[in-house]
């Protein structure tokens, strides 16, 4: 059954005449099926053991009678034999032979790929030269040949259009008419000679102009080929320059701000070296746009809680930008620190719902922590370029904001002290605890004002004016007592 299936499968690949013989001759079909069956039962033929090249030829005279032709055909079957001998190292199996051939093929493909990659520039140049030659042979040369043929045809038509009677004088009737006719003929011959010379000169000038055009076209074509070759030879360098804006953007996204500034400087140096090339100006504009986005991002970053070394690095980068002056840097720093401190204060607003005294304490703590650090970093960044006017506005604005919060919420806290007046021991302890908390709050204010005095700024006049004298939230005596405590500890 399996041999019949194999026969039907192999029959589709035979010649149509052989297929007809198998279909029309049952004996031939049975003989072929029997032969395939013997092959399938032969384990030696299907084995993958060592297979040598020694063969024996067994000729089976299978006589086939074709009904159409009545001819006899002999089929010679050659079957290989297996030599069962001791295994030898040089004997290889069919599988090993196939594997070695595949490996050899793979090596050849690798060599071809390497050879093609090493000579890719030459391949590109040869391909371009072939395209140019093909363009010349198929388009340019037929066009110029057509022009030459038209010029020659025009010259031939001009010569044929000359009147023939000028070359053949008439038969005179009288001698006087003959003389006049001879004079006219001589004059006409001179004109014809001049006309022919003029046409010859035009023909020569036309050919010269075409020759010059061909030479100019060849020169321009050679220049174009040389230019294209130079472009292909420097393609990597050209791509590097065109990718400078993208590279600058990647550096900014990864936080490599110094490298982005170096890219900008390199683009500007290209403009100085090649001032007439618009492509370099376009690249520099794209890089400037990326640096502008970087500037916005750094300013937003300054509004967050950064370490001092990070702030210092940011201003070192901003100081190298041509778009920002020194005065603007002062304003950027103070404005960003002001926003950061106000954002920190806004984050503690929910405490007001539970305890106003705790809110005021946290308010003063934020000032003591971040205001002192901001002034210290300002002096570190700008050193001898300190702008006292801007600093005074910065400190004064924060000082009045602090006073406004105390004026708004401290009276409510003090009213709680007045409300505790039952006279029992618990109420007295609560009243003393609240008074001590208010004194501690005043002590924190004094510490804050004294810490700012290191930078030639003092909150104390503002606090005394607003909280002691104008709104009388604290007494002068309590202020002096807490001030003495600070002096003792210092």
- Please write the tens of the pLDDT for every residue from 208-238: 666 566 666 667 777 777 777 777 777 788 8
Least confident of 157-161, 221-225, 233-237, 310-314: 157-161
The total domain count for the chain is 2
The residue segments making up the domain with residue 29 are 1-42
DSSP states of 453-476: GGGT--SHHHHIIIIIIIS-SS-H
Query: Does 7 fall in a domain?
Result: yes
* pLDDT score, position 164: 47
* pLDDT score, position 286: 94
Query: Does 362 fall in a domain?
Result: yes
Q: What proportion of the chain, given as a percentage, has pLDDT over 70?
A: 74
Query: Does 321 fall in a domain?
Result: no
Measured in degrees and rounded to the nearest 5, phi and psi for residue 306 equal -110, 155
Q: How confident is the model at residue 82 (pLDDT cuts 50, 70, 90)?
A: very low
User: What is the mean pLDDT of the segment spanning 316-333?
Assistant: 88
The string of pLDDT tens digits covering residues 342-376 is 999 999 999 988 889 999 999 999 999 999 899 99
User: What is the mean pLDDT of the segment spanning 157-186?
Assistant: 55
User: What is the mean pLDDT of the segment spanning 416-435?
Assistant: 68
Query: Does 223 fall in a domain?
Result: no
Query: Does 419 fall in a domain?
Result: yes
Residue 289 has pLDDT above 90, yes or no: yes
Query: Does 478 fall in a domain?
Result: yes
DSSP states of 356-379: HHHHHHHHHHHIIIIIHHHHHHHH
Local structure of 141: helix, strand or coil: helix
Query: Does 268 fall in a domain?
Result: no
Residue 402 has pLDDT above 90, yes or no: yes
User: What is the mean pLDDT of the segment spanning 63-75?
Assistant: 36
Q: What proportion of the chain, given as a percentage, has pLDDT over 90?
A: 26
Q: Which of 6-10, 140-144, 356-360 has the highest mean pLDDT?
A: 356-360
What is the pLDDT of the chain when averaged over all its residues?
77
* pLDDT score, position 175: 56
Query: Does 339 fall in a domain?
Result: no
* pLDDT score, position 171: 45
Predicted structure pTM score: 0.53
Task: Report d(CA 479, CA 467) in Å as an integer.
Answer: 10
């Amino acid at each position: 059954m399996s041999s019949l299936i194999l026969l039907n499968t192999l029959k589709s690949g035979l010649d149509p005449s052989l297929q007809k013989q198998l279909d029309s001759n049952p004996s031939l079909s049975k003989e072929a099926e029997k032969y395939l069956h013997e092959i399938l039962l032969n384990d030696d033929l299907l084995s993958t053991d060592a297979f040598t090249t020694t063969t024996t030829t067994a000729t089976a005279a299978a006589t086939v009678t074709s009904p159409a032709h009545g001819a006899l055909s002999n089929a010679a079957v050659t079957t290989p034999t297996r030599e069962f001998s001791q295994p030898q190292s040089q004997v290889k199996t069919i599988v090993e032979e196939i594997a070695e051939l595949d490996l050899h093929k793979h090596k050849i493909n690798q060599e071809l790929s390497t050879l093609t990659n090493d000579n890719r520039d030459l391949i590109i140049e040869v391909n371009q030269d072939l395209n140019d030659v093909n363009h010349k042979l198929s388009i340019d040369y037929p066009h110029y040949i057509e022009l030459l043929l038209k010029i020659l045809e025009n010259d031939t038509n001009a010569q044929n259009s000359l009147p023939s009677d000028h070359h053949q004088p008439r038969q005179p009737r009288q001698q006087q008419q003959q003389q006049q006719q001879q004079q006219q003929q001589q004059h006409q011959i001179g004109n014809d000679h001049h006309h022919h010379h003029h046409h010859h000169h035009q023909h020569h000038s036309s050919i010269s102009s075409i020759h010059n055009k061909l030479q100019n076209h060849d020169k321009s074509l050679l220049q174009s080929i040389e230019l294209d070759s130079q472009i292909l030879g420097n393609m990597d360098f050209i791509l590097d320059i065109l990718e400078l804006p993208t590279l600058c953007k990647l550096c900014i996204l990864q936080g490599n701000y110094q490298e982005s500034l170096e890219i900008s400087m390199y683009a500007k140096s290209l403009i100085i070296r090649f001032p007439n090339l618009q492509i370099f100006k376009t690249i520099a504009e794209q890089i400037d746009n990326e640096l502008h986005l970087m500037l916005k991002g750094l300013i937003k970053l300054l509004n967050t809680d950064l370490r001092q070394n990070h702030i210092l690095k940011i201003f070192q980068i901003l100081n190298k930008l041509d778009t920002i002056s020194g005065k603007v840097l002062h304003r950027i720093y103070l404005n960003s620190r002001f926003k950061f401190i106000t954002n920190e204060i806004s984050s503690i607003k929910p405490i007001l719902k539970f305890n106003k005294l705790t809110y005021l304490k946290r308010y003063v703590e934020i000032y003591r922590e971040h205001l002192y650090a901001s002034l210290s970093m300002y002096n570190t960044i700008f050193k001898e370029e300190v702008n006292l006017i801007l600093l005074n506005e910065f400190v004064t604005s924060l000082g009045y904001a602090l006073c406004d919060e105390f004026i708004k919420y401290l009276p409510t806290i003090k009213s709680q002290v007045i409300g505790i007046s039952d006279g029992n021991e618990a109420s007295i302890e609560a009243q003393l605890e609240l008074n001590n908390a208010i004194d501690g709050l005043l002590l924190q204010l004094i510490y804050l004002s004294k810490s700012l005095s290191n930078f030639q700024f003092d909150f104390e006049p503002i606090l005394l004016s607003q909280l002691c004298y104008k709104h009388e939230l604290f007494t002068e005596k309590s202020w002096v007592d807490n001030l003495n405590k600070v002096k003792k500890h210092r």
